[in-house]
Chains A and B, each alone.
Chain A
Amino acid sequence: MNYFESSEYKDAKCQLRDEYKICYDKIETYIQLASIYGLHKEACLIQILDDFLSAQAEGKELSKVTGPDYRKYCDTMIQAERSRNRSKYEVMAYIAVIPLTVMLLSLFTSILRNDDKLSSITNQIIIGGFSIAFPVIYLIYYLIRQKTAKVLFNHVRASKAVITIVSVIFYGLIYLISAVLDRALNIAIPVPFPAFLIIIALSLVLLTVLVIIEKKDNKQLRIVPESEETAIEQVICPACGNEYDMDYPKCPYCKN
């Protein structure tokens, strides 16, 4: 299950009050909507939520944790989290994905155009304007999402509304726009079918190798129980009876 849908996450979020709640809502919306490539959203947000809850329990001002500019703070956290997960093989992944996407789109359009002439497809695949326009439009959509989330950082509702509209337009019209561009660009690069198969096979092999390497070098965070050796000593709050880490200045439950 998505962690953001869990009661654990929702209950924790409900504990935030006033400026902490307002700021966290902005940050969460920004991170969720901007769909930043290579960002492990959960790892980033749990760090921010934990900091906010801890600071709030101590009665600390929010700006002491974030600094005066919330968006700058948020971008720094995102950047740091991305650098933790950044793959050494990112460029190689692009080298594999881009030709694979273009080839599959070309195959798709060739099938659509030659539905009664299978022999012509097995002879050669035509890379047309559609196969090039589609990924470019997708990239533009991705950049618009990021820019909107950035510009409307302080306006959660407006940000959600604009990005929803942009997404509906994008998914509704991408095929149509690509088809129009296909005609306008009038590109037709023939690729012999054996070459097409070789490119697809090489891309898939490269992607498989990268997935195996990445799994070996996996930095995704997993829930690991605390070892007794490193456990922070617990104390029992005399007022509410809850247990908490002894390094807390106050009980995080009843604030005594």
Chain B
Amino acid sequence: MDNAQLLKGILEGCILSIISGGETYGYHILSILEKHGFTDIGEGTLYPVLTRLENKGYIICRIGKSPFGPRRKYYSITDIGLKSLKEFIISYEKIIKISESIIKETLGGMNHELF
């Protein structure tokens, strides 16, 4: 099964969730994703998601200073973004519940022979 398709929507929700915690920047988001197990995600995956979220109006971007001296892009969530995050959490929990229930019921009677 294509993990990338499965990950696409979930990653957007996770990134939105990280940004909802307060203004942050690309590398910090990447570090949090990595800390929680998304180790294969590089900046080349993250940045398109950030621009997509920005184009949808879920986050806004400003340029500020970084401790290293040059400019840095900081992202923060908008009201529409917060609304979308709430909707994502509801949908996500519902999907997880349904998927778990199906997997439990179907695999339960197969003595886990798939594994």
A residues lining the B interface (CB < 8 Å): 3, 8-9, 11-12, 15, 43, 46-51, 53-55, 57-58, 64-67, 72-73, 76-77, 79-81, 83-84, 221-226, 230-232, 242-245, 247-248, 252-253
| Shortest beta-carbon distance from A134 to chain B in Å | 35
| Shortest beta-carbon distance from A166 to chain B in Å | 29
A243 to B54, CA, bound (A): 30
B residues lining the A interface (CB < 8 Å): 22-28, 30-31, 42-45, 47-48, 50-52, 54-55, 61-74, 76
Q: Which of B45, B55, B65 interacts with A83 by CB under 8 Å?
A: B55
Chain A residues closer than 8 Å to B52, beta-carbon distance? 83
Known: A67-B42, A221-B62, A226-B74. A51 touches B27 (CB 8 A): yes
User: Top 8 nearest A-B pairs by Cβ distance?
Assistant: A12-B70, A230-B23, A54-B27, A224-B62, A80-B48, A76-B44, A73-B44, A84-B51
A124 to B20, CA, bound (A): 63
Known: A84-B54, A84-B55, A223-B63. A66 touches B69 (CB 8 A): no
Chain A residues closer than 8 Å to B55, beta-carbon distance? 83-84
| Shortest beta-carbon distance from B43 to chain A in Å | 5
Tally inter-chain residue pairs, CB-CB below 8 A: 117
Contacts A53-B66, A81-B51, A231-B23 known; list 9 others, CB within 8 Å. Answer: A15-B69, A47-B43, A50-B26, A50-B66, A66-B44, A80-B50, A232-B23, A243-B67, A244-B67
| B67 with A46: CB separation less than 8 A | no
Greatest chain B CB density within 10 A among A12, A43, A49, A54 is at A54
Chain A residues closer than 8 Å to B74, beta-carbon distance? 226, 230
Do most interface residues of chain A lie in helix, strand or loop, or is the interface mixed?
A: helix
Chain B residues closer than 8 Å to A49, beta-carbon distance? 70
| B27 with A245: CB separation less than 8 A | no
A222 to B25, CA, bound (A): 15
* CB-based nearest A residue for B34: A64
Q: Which of B25, B30, B62, B70 interacts with A9 by CB under 8 Å?
A: B70
